[in-house]
Each structure stands twice: as C-alpha cells, then as structure tokens.
Chains A and B, each alone.
Chain A
Amino acid sequence: MLPELGQILLVTALLMALLQTVLPLWGAHRDRATWMAVARPAAYAQLALLLGAFGVLTAAFVTQDFSVRYVAENSNSLLPLAYRYSAVWGAHEGSLLLWALVLAVWCGAVARWSKRLPAVVSARVLGVLGIISIGFLAFLIFTSNPFARLIPAPLEGRDLNPLLQDPGLIIHPPMLYIGYVGFAVPFAFAIAALLEGRVDARWLRWTRPWTNVAWGFLTLGIALGSWWAYYELGWGGWWFWDPVENASFMPWLAGAALIHSQAVTEKRGSFASWTLLLAIAAFALSLLGTFLVRSGVLTSVHSFAADPSRGTFILIFLALVIGGALLLYALRAGALTREDPRRGFLPTSRETLLLANNLLLAAACGMVLLGTLYPLLADALGLGKVSVGPPYFGTLFVVLMAPLVALLPFGPLVNWQRDQASRRVAMLAPWAGLALLLGVIAYFMAPQGALKTAAGVTGAAWVAFGTGRFVWTRLRGNGRFTAEMVGMLLAHGGVAVFLAGALLVEALNVQREVALAPGQSLVVGTYEVRFEGVDHQQGPNYVADRGHLRVLQHDRELALLHPEKRLYASGGQVMTEAGIHARLNGDVYVALGESLGNNAWAVRVHIKPFVRWIWLGALLMALGGFVTAADRRFRRP
C-alpha cells in the first residue's frame, strides 16, 4: 500500500513541476503577475511531495519491505539499520530520487530566498529549474520507478554491495549531489538573464552566492569521495581518474572558472557573455556526468547498471536542455555584450589574470573530457581499444595547472584595469625566491621522489606566501577584510595545502608487502609494524579475519591497528578493511593480504606522508566558497 503512495507522490510532484514551469515562464513572458506567483508555492509543494516520496522509500528499506523490487535488490535482512537508510541511494533508482529531491530542495531554497528579486526574474529562474525537475521526474516515473513491485515478494533480498556498507556512503552522495545539482541554479539565472536580455551587477549579486555555495558542496562531495576510496579500497589510492570521478571533477573545474568570471562581471561589468556561457557549461557538465554514470556508455565499476533505454532518455533530455540553452545563448548573448571604454583594461590587470585563470581551468576541463571519452571515440573511429588512465591525466593536469599555480598569488594583488607589472613582481619576487629556496632544501632532504617533493614544497609555499603577502598589504592599508576576501584567502590557502599534500604523498609514499608470522615485525622508515596475529570475528552480516598490528616509532607505541578481511554472507564477496593510524603529518596504513598457513599472513604496509592535507585543503576551499557566499554585499537589494 505504501509504495503505491510513493508512486502517487511522484506523479503529483511531476504535476507540481509542470505548474512551476509552464505558468511562471508564460507569465513572465506576458507579464501576468498571478501566473508568475504560482512558481513559489509550486516549488514548495514539489519539495514537500518529494520529501514524502523519499520518506516512503526510506520506510520501505527500514521495514525491509522486499515486495518493492528496488529494496529487494539492494537490501537484506541482515543489513544493519544505519545502512538501510543509506541503501536508499545505493543504486540507480534511489539515487535518482535523491537527485530529484536535492533539486527540489534547491528550488525551495530559491523560492524562499528570492524575495528581493523582481517577480519576473524569480519566476523565470524557478521556471527553468522546473524544466529540469520535469525531466528528472519523468525519467524516474517512466524508466526508473523506485517503487516498482516484485510479485511474488521474495523472502530475502539480494544485499547492498558490501563496498557501500560504510559511513562514507551515508554522506558522500548527498554532498556530491547538493553541489552537482546546485549548478542548476546559476544555470537557471543565466537562462533568465538571456530571456530578459540583461546582465547587470544586481543580477550577479543574486547569482554569486548560489554559485559559490553549490561549488563549495561539490568540493566537499568530491573530497569525501576521495577520502572514502582511500580508506575503503585497501591500497591507499586517493584519486584514480576513473570516468565517474572525472564526471564530478569536470563541473568542479567549470564551476571554479565560473565563480571567478562572476567576480569580474560583477565588479567591472565585463565578460558577461563568458560568465553566462560558463554557467551553462557547468550545469551541462553536471548533466553530462549524470548521463555518463547511468547510461552504461563508459565502463566503470562505479557506474550504475547499464540500460540503453535509460541512456537514451537522459541523452534526449540533455540534448534538448543544453541545446536549447546554447541556442538561446547564440541568439541573445550578443545583445548583452557592450563595447564600453570604461570596461577596457590593459594587459597588466586583474582582468587579464582572471581571463588566463579561466582559460587554464577550461583547458584542464577539456582535457579531462577528452581523456574520459577518448576510448569511446577511438572505438567509434575504429582505432582499436585504447586505455586512457592516470599516467595521461596526471601528466597533462600538472602541465596545465602549473601556470595557474604560478599566477595565482598575483591575482588578488593586481589592480583592476591597469597596474604596474614591475611593482607587483617586485612585491612577490622575494617570496618566490624563498619558496624556491625551500624547494631546493626539500630536494636535498627528500629520501625519495626528490623532484616531486621540491615541486610540492615550492608550489605550496609560493601560493601560501603570495596569499600572505596580500593579507599584509591589506593590513597595511585600511585593514578591512570583506567576507569575500576571507573566502578567497581560505580557498587559496586550501589550494596551497592541497598542493603540498598531493605532491608530497605521491613523492614520499612507501609501500611494503611481506609475509609475517605472529611476533615478527616490518620496519618501514622510522616505523615498526609488529604483527600480533589474526583472529576470527563475527559481524552483523559478515565473518571477518581480524588482524592485530602494533605500530611503533622510535620504540614508542603509536597505535594498535585492526585491519580485516571480511566475507559477506549474502554474495560471498571478500572485502579488505584497512587499519589506519592517521596523523596530520602522515598515515600508517595497514592491510591484510592472504593467509599463508601456520598463522603467517601477508601484510601490506603503506606510509602516506601528508595525505590528510589533501582533504584538509579541499575542506578549506569549500569553506572559502561558503564564506564568500555570506558576504553582506550580496544581500543588498
């Protein structure tokens, strides 16, 4: 009975989305206030209905109603309660419902916090968001119904993939979706601007907070995914350039370009057409990512079950929405670009630097897109089966980002429109020198991977010092820091921290795998890992071999770690759980290999210096986005 209620709620939500779209957009076109006023209540109604539908699906999981096919395929009577909640978004149908729900939340937020917008604008924005809601709700109802029944109902479900039975699954997808889906809001604003034929500072003051918040959440979502892969997969990797990871990284890169472009357009009025194009591109990449992950077009273990009919549906929707947006852009963007001599700028100016910033980020985004799609392209062109993996992405990404890192500290310091290059170079040159010096020292101190270590130290120090120089300049001036500035400081500081973490861990990480009998030790660097045996443990839905390993440094005990090898009852899958001793200056990461008989086991130890800085840096970047969005300037009418 209850799952059918869920279906009814979904269909009613679709009707609300139709109301949210048709009447307000037509009303904005014809300036009919009553029709435009339908947008807000329709958005709230859609949100309430989708919350209800989501609640119904959650209830089905919690009560283990295996008559619902989706529950039967992704749950099991032994599944612990916490994971029954997160299993709701563990596979295609449920995660799509989450997508629709998150979009409804954004619609509701826009409805709630858009009172100071002119009715025409808010009606258009909500209307465009409604179009996207219609697409996804139709997709759900017609091809991916989470409430479909299985008759007769099985007595036992299949199970949630053991890899997903983890706290990481509880938080990573929601965060990621909030970011991913959130780019629909700047997209809607861009379409509204094109329809209205106007982009002014006011428009940007409305759009910027939404964009920064969405980008912040996307940063968090990607960072959580990386952290989860690190501790869950058992071999200490934190980024694999997997197609699904790339699908979330491309909108991030476009979004980073967008937030900077919006800053220029707000303050100087220039690059309005670039800003609009980036807003369309960021959301287009979000949709493309959603398509790639669910259509089966790309081979990735991370992708959802392939189904060509689903792929076709999303592709048609994607083509119509983005094609329509780009058509509108081609027709209308020209009218928004104005040749205004006051908007001119010299080569040495912040405008030029931000243009370069956007060029480099766009090139990186394009490179990731090319590398991700190239195997498919090669296949289509008959060039054979080519693999494009981390060696490609890693190499080209570094090549493209190096100029960006070099230019980064100049951005906040250089004035708008015109500045003296020599003066700025003189300000920063000593700090560049210091960074290089630190790099050279690091080069000679590094036990291995000297070049990468030096690059990491130099790059991070350069960005950190350069950002610090800005703080000093500001303090010596009027000493006031707007929220936008603080956000910038946090985000650029986050870049420095991330750079240090990523390059240092790649340069300095050590990995050993040896056979150990109880009592034997493995010495890696200054750490000693003593194997103390393995015993049998019982979990709620698995059996585990649980290892006991003592980590010592300079004969002082640091931790007792318990890596496990779990055998799950449902599918017989074997999962490796790592034992991690986490500190700010590095992790000791231990995993069990195979049993070798006579109580001996193969034990794998990784030392991962500074690995936590990767996620700390990302956290700072996300925080920067949120703080920027809170700037009081955006709340001016």
Chain B
Amino acid sequence: MPMPSRSCRPRRNRMTRRVGVALVALALALAWASPVMAQAVSDPTPLQYRDAAEEARFHALAAELRCVQCQNQSLADSNAQIAHDLRREVLVLMQQGNSDAQIKQFLVDRYGEFVLYRPPMEARNALLWFGPPVALLIGAGVLIWVVRRRSRGIQPMDKSEERW
C-alpha cells in the first residue's frame, strides 16, 4: 500500500529535534494560528471537463502515467505539486485534440520513459511482456507431457482409500 512520500511536497519537512514541551505548545499555537505555511503558487480549483466521456478518458490516461516525483504513485492519485501541474497540462493537451499516444509522447520527451506505467511494447521489454505467456505455454507443455506419462498403464485406485 503506497503512502505519499514526505518528499512529494515542495517544502521539506524537518525532523523535530530536541524541542522542549513549552516549545511544542508554542509550535502548536502557531500552527493553529496560521495553518498554511509557505506554498507554491497553485490553482486549487478542480479541473473542468467538457463532458463525461472526456472525464473518463482523462482518469484512464492519468492512471497510466506515473507521478514523476513521488515514490510509486500514479499521476491520478498523487498530491505532489508537479503532479497537480501535469494533470492540468494533460487535460489541456487532451482538449487541444491530442490523442493519448501523443500526450504520452509529450511527457516521455520531457521526463523520459519512467513516466509511463505501462512499459512500452518494445524489444527491450520483450522479457517483461512475453515472458509470462511464454512461461505459461512451456508450463502447459510440461503439464501435457506429465499427464501423458502418468496416464500410461494405470491401475485403478483402491476404492477403500477413496476420499473426496
């Protein structure tokens, strides 16, 4: 279960060192007084979709893209500043008429292949995509061979030892 990394936020969390109880109380008071610390400029309004189809397409695409700053979160799920910006960018590109493939290429050009959660179907990823199906086929072959061997010259089993 992934958890948002502390490093996702633009400001770095500092480790509380030896702070006396009184200082803790003061810190609390300050926190309650001004809950918002320095934040990057960001538009918090929700994204506006033109219709339900676009919204569904956006969510599907964002789930296939990786947040470039977090440790293993999708672009759809991340709260990082850059993820926020990239989501806006993806929607803008979508509304400009780009296809999913073009949007993915746009991001790959800037952030590298790392940004794709679906590894591209290329020669170097052959082991990844074809390994399991090929292993399954080989396993099926072995299975057929084992079954063939075991079905030769069988003796009926004792009815006495039959269990469900």
Which A residues contact B (CB, under 8 angstroms)? Answer: 77-78, 154-159, 161, 163, 225-226, 228-229, 233, 235, 237, 240, 242-245, 267-268, 270, 299-302, 341-347, 351-352, 355-356, 359-360, 362-363, 366-367, 370-371, 374, 378, 383-392, 396, 399-400, 416-418, 448, 482, 484-485, 511-515, 538, 543, 545, 567, 569-573, 576, 593-596, 602, 604
Contacts and interface: CB of A to CB of B under 8 A. Distances in A.
A485 B164 CA distance: 8
A452 to B, nearest CB: 12
B122 to A, nearest CB: 10
For this complex, into which size category does the number of interface residues on chain B fall?
35 or more
A370 B119 CA distance: 13
What are the nearest 9 A-B pairs in CB distance? A389-B117, A344-B154, A594-B44, A391-B118, A229-B1, A367-B132, A513-B46, A341-B155, A301-B71
A366 B135 CA distance: 9
8 contacts: A233-B77, A240-B1, A242-B1, A300-B72, A302-B1, A374-B119, A571-B16, A604-B46
Given A391-B118, A485-B164, A362 B139 contact: yes
A159 B16 contact: yes
Contacts of B140: 359
Nearest to A299: B71
A366 B139 CA distance: 12
B113 A386 contact: yes
Given A155-B19, A356-B143, A389-B64, 8 more contacts: A156-B24, A233-B4, A242-B72, A244-B1, A342-B157, A386-B119, A396-B133, A569-B24
Interface string B111-130: 01111111100001101110
Nearest to B162: A416
A402 to B, nearest CB: 12
Contacts of B157: 268, 342-343, 416-417
A157 B17 CA distance: 8
B45 A602 contact: yes
Contacts of B97: none
A355 B143 contact: yes
Interface string B37-59: 10000001111000000011001
Contact of B136 (A352, A359, A418): A359
Contacts of B164: 482, 484-485
Interface in B1-49: 1-6, 13, 15-21, 24, 27-28, 31-32, 35, 37, 44-47
Contacts of B101: none
A602 B44 contact: yes
Nearest to A227: B1
A417 B154 contact: yes
Contacts of B76: 235
A595 B44 contact: yes
Nearest to B44: A594
B158 to A, nearest CB: 7
Contact of A355 (B45, B66, B70, B146): B146
Nearest to A66: B18
Contacts of A571: 6, 13, 16
Contact of B45 (A245, A391, A416, A515): A515
Nearest to A298: B72
Contacts of B110: none
A245 B44 CA distance: 32
A515 B43 CA distance: 12
